Amino acid sequence: MGRSEVTFRKFAILSGVRQEAGDYAICVQPPTSNLQRRGTLMLMAEPAGLHASFGVDACRVAQSAVIEHYYGDHSLSLTSGLINALDSANNTLLQYNYEKSGDQGKNEPSVAVAVQGGGVATKKARVGLTAVLVRPDGAGIYIAQTAPAQLYIVHNGLLTAIPHPTGWEIEHQGPAKLVVEQEDADVEAVDEDLVIPSFQAAPLGSRPGVEADLIFRRVEAGDLIVAVSSGLAKRIERVTAERLFTEGDPDTIIEALHEMSMQLGVAEAHACVLQLGTEVRSGVETDFRSPLQAPHGGQIALNGGANIMPSGSAEKRVDLKSALSSPRKWLARRNNTDDSLGSVEG
């Protein structure tokens, strides 16, 4: 699959009113060729432990931190970059909570609740995140989740739910692959009898450190990836999911989930659908708030980790051509120059 062969759809409602879905779900494809090597990143965030009216800002903070860190990361491993990005988002949320609890005198809604012993207890913003990284070659996806999160994958017409929903009969859903890091390579430990685990890491912002595991799944053109907020996902039965997700297209699925949310009276719900291998790219962000351009450090990584253009004024930059052709003379000349500068300043 080429990088343009993706379709992305999303929706969000709060108290029956349709909201800006980009506050919860986003899919990014970088515009520059060097960043395209990092793949396509889909994120869906969900407030955890507090009402959505307070959690939407935290969702935006988490999304921004993950995307900016991932595409600015210099590690050669895609999975290392993704885990590092999640850890950065977690630290950013912890700092966000500290700053919010310290805000005084601002015209903002108070994020606090009364406690039985008197006084108030500040609510801590926590975010459940589903991160799906589509490899640049389009042959597979890496999945990382923090609770609460629910993901559905339709591969070759077969539905897989990650994590396994409560109430669905347990059965083999493989093959799935847990990703193990070894130096700079992505090593896939394959277990053909592996059942998708039901355990999820704690939401972002809960405590320092992220314990999310990565799961690798192979994908092909036409496969669907559907992320649904937990409040709505709990109401979706297996037969409904199989019929809707295996027979529908992104537009049909999103409208059906929206209608289902309204009929069931779900107070807050959102979802997104990513289809791979479509002829026309649609609904995908190519710019995320700050320009996705390779920073200076990114160029250093492309040069093999060597900074061949030292910082400083143009007069003090190293003349590499003369240095490489006659290193001893160049070194002696540089030492003489440094000594002369030192004597003048002294």
What does pLDDT average to over the chain? 76
Q: For residues 8 and 136, what is the distance between their CA atoms, to the nearest angstrom?
A: 17
| pLDDT grade for 121, boundaries at 50, 70 and 90 | very low
| pLDDT grade for 303, boundaries at 50, 70 and 90 | very low
- Residue 300 in this model has a pLDDT that exceeds 60: no
Q: Residues 137-154: what's their mean pLDDT? A: 94
| pLDDT grade for 288, boundaries at 50, 70 and 90 | low
Angle at CA 221, nearest 5°, toward 219 and 222?
100
Q: Structure tokens of 304?
A: 């093999």
Q: Give, in order, the Cα–Cα distances in Å from 283 to each of 249, 338, 346.
A: 14, 57, 64
- Torsion, Cα 224 230 235 239, to 10 degrees, reads 30
Q: Residues 311-321: what's their mean pLDDT? A: 43
Nearest Cα to 213, choosing from 183, 184, 189?
189
pLDDT tens per residue, range 4-18 = 578 999 999 988 899
- Residue 194 in this model has a pLDDT that exceeds 70: no
- Residue 177 in this model has a pLDDT that exceeds 60: no
pLDDT tens per residue, range 53-81 = 568 999 999 999 999 999 998 888 999 99
Q: Give the rounded percent of residues in the chain with a pLDDT score beyond 70.
A: 63
Cβ pair 65, 155 in contact under 8 A: no
- Residue 168, pLDDT score: 85
- Residue 148 in this model has a pLDDT that exceeds 50: yes
- Residue 173, pLDDT score: 47
- Residue 170 in this model has a pLDDT that exceeds 70: no
Task: Write a three-state SS string for the chain.
Answer: CCCCCEEEEEEEEECCEECCHHHCEEEECCCCHHHHCCCEEEEEEEEECCCHHHHHHHHHHHHHHHHHHHHHCCCCCHHHHHHHHHHHHHHHHHHHHHHHHHCCCCCCCCCEEECCCCCEEECCCEEEEEEEEECCCCCEEEEEEECCCEEEEEECCEEEEECCCCCCCCCCCCCEEEEEEECCEEEEEEECCCCCCCCCECCECCCCCCCCCEEEEECCCCCEEEEECHHHHCCCCHHHHHHHHHHCCHHHHHHHHHHHHHHHCCCEEEEEEEEECCCCCECCECCECECCCCCHHHHHHHCCCCCCCCCCCHHHCCCHHHHHHCHHHHHHHHHHHHHHHHHHHC
- Residue 114, pLDDT score: 44
| pLDDT grade for 123, boundaries at 50, 70 and 90 | low
**Residue 220: CA count within 13 A, CB half-sphere:** 5
Q: For residues 336 and 333, what is the distance between their CA atoms, to the nearest angstrom?
A: 5
pLDDT tens per residue, range 222-232 = 999 999 999 99
Residue recorded with tokens 């077969």: 158
Q: Give, in order, the Cα–Cα distances in Å from 137 to each of 36, 69, 134, 156, 221.
A: 10, 22, 8, 18, 12
- Residue 299 in this model has a pLDDT that exceeds 70: no
| pLDDT grade for 283, boundaries at 50, 70 and 90 | confident
- Residue 212, pLDDT score: 85
Q: Give the rounded percent of residues in the chain with a pLDDT score beyond 90.
A: 47
How many other CB atoms are found less than 10 A from the CB of residue 14?
A: 18
- Residue 302 in this model has a pLDDT that exceeds 90: no
- Residue 126 in this model has a pLDDT that exceeds 70: yes
| pLDDT grade for 193, boundaries at 50, 70 and 90 | very low
- Residue 30 in this model has a pLDDT that exceeds 50: yes
